[in-house]
Amino acid sequence: MFKFFSTIYFLLFFFCLSPAFSAEFTLKTVKDKEAVCNNGKMANYWVAEQKSKKWLVQFPGGGAAWSAKNYSKRGSDKKEPVRLADGEKMVLSKSAIAKQFYDSGYNVLMLHYCSSDLYAGNHINNIKGKKVPFKGRKIVETIVSEYASEFQAADDLVIAGTSAGVYGTVLNIDLWKEFPNTRLILDGIWRDDYQKSLKTVDNGWTKFPLGEMPSHCKGDFYKYCEISRLTLEANGMKEAFIIFNFGDPYNWAKKDSQMRKFATSFEKDANKFGGGFSVDAKKYKLAGAEKWGHGLLTQSKFYNKKIGSSSLSAAIQSWVETGKSVHMHY
């Protein structure tokens, strides 16, 4: 009988402590009073810590306010901090990549996106006679400052952005490059050399969401801060895992005749930085947050879906462990 109860006690103890069963995010508020959401209230974020020197920092997606009219159409949840009524805890499984990394021994910090500015503004916009703060850069700066000692001592610091979070990751790359063991995961936006030949661009869109832009962009997004190989190289980033699929609505290569040229150009960049995932998302019914194949890090049904010989989650796990993992399937 004693042996039976000892076994039960051990199992209960194990399951209570096991990351897979007990892991939760805790809600924290930033310390800098200037780091506010669009509604003027101080920003908050989620963190799940364990005694580890490895970190995952996740930037969720959520679009941006490209104009005053567009801002007015954004939901209130995208303009305000997480409400306490929603609870001060959240299960880690709300983010598939967060759970994977936590179970692999990483601390996880996940930002709450409430500034409508690709995490990179530090200005005020006048909207319908009201001054609205766009302070995403200030929010990121204060979080980086609060965790600087942990990030500096980290054996591995992985910054993972999805869609708007990709912009947030790269527009704040000057902050991340200060830490010695930084790697990036970029999910849903990438401008390879072939793709850039397909569209004429200008900096006009940056004024409303970004204001003057972070200083390292020197007022020219496409020259100094575009989501591309050149920007990563210029900032000393040698390791990245890039996710960009054919069929993604934000992929400028849209015609079937452009598929192979895009895939070849993308594969070159993925091999350069050590990691990548690109598939014909519509063909393999990989939906994502937006069809087809855009935004794959959060929902497990997309993150873990096997396409060909591998899933995205397996490819990222291999990259984490070896620094080399490129999965292409067309």
Give the domain CATH number at 137. Answer: 3.40.50
Domain with 119 in it? 22-329
User: What count of other Cβ atoms lies within 10 Å of the Cβ of residue 167?
Assistant: 26
* pLDDT greater than 90 at residue 204: yes
Q: Are 108 and 25 in contact (CB under 8 A)?
A: yes
Who has greater pLDDT, 22 or 49?
A: 49
Tell me whether residue 308 is in a domain: yes
The 3-state DSSP class for residue 317 equals helix
Q: Which residues are 55's β-sheet partners?
A: 107, 157
What was the pLDDT predicted at 85? 65
Q: Are 163 and 249 in contact (CB under 8 A)?
A: no
pLDDT in tens, 217-268: 999 999 999 999 999 999 999 999 999 999 999 999 999 999 999 999 999 9
Confidence bin at 89 (pLDDT 50/70/90): confident
pLDDT in tens, 292-325: 999 999 999 999 999 999 999 999 999 999 999 9
Q: Are 122 and 209 in contact (CB under 8 A)?
A: no
Confidence bin at 108 (pLDDT 50/70/90): very high
Look at the pTM and tell me if it is higher than 0.85: yes
Confidence bin at 15 (pLDDT 50/70/90): very low
DSSP 61: -
The helix or strand, by DSSP H or E, that contains position 190, with its residue range, turns out to be none
Tell me whether residue 215 is in a domain: yes
What was the pLDDT predicted at 22? 55
Please give the full DSSP string across 63-120, using - where no structure is assigned.
----SHHHHHHS-GGGTSPPPGGG-SEEEGGGSHHHHHHHHTT-EEEEE---SSSTT-
Tell me whether residue 2 is in a domain: no
Mean pLDDT of 116-137: 98
Tell me whether residue 311 is in a domain: yes
Who has greater pLDDT, 212 or 11?
A: 212
Task: Give dist(CA 285, CA 242) in Å, integer.
Answer: 20
AA letter at 224: Y
Tell me whether residue 238 is in a domain: yes
* pLDDT greater than 70 at residue 9: no
Tell me whether residue 71 is in a domain: yes
Q: Are 88 and 29 in contact (CB under 8 A)?
A: no
Please give the full DSSP string across 119-168, using - where no structure is assigned.
T---EEEEETTEEEEE-HHHHHHHHHHHTHHHHHT-SEEEEEEETHHHHH
Task: Give dist(CA 140, CA 41) in Å, integer.
Answer: 15
Average of per-residue pLDDT values in the chain? 93
What was the pLDDT predicted at 87? 62
Mean pLDDT of 7-14: 36
- Residue 27 sits at φ, ψ, to 5 deg, of -85, 130
Tell me whether residue 298 is in a domain: yes
Number of domains in the chain: 1
Q: How far is CA 175 from the centre of its chain?
A: 15
Tell me whether residue 11 is in a domain: no
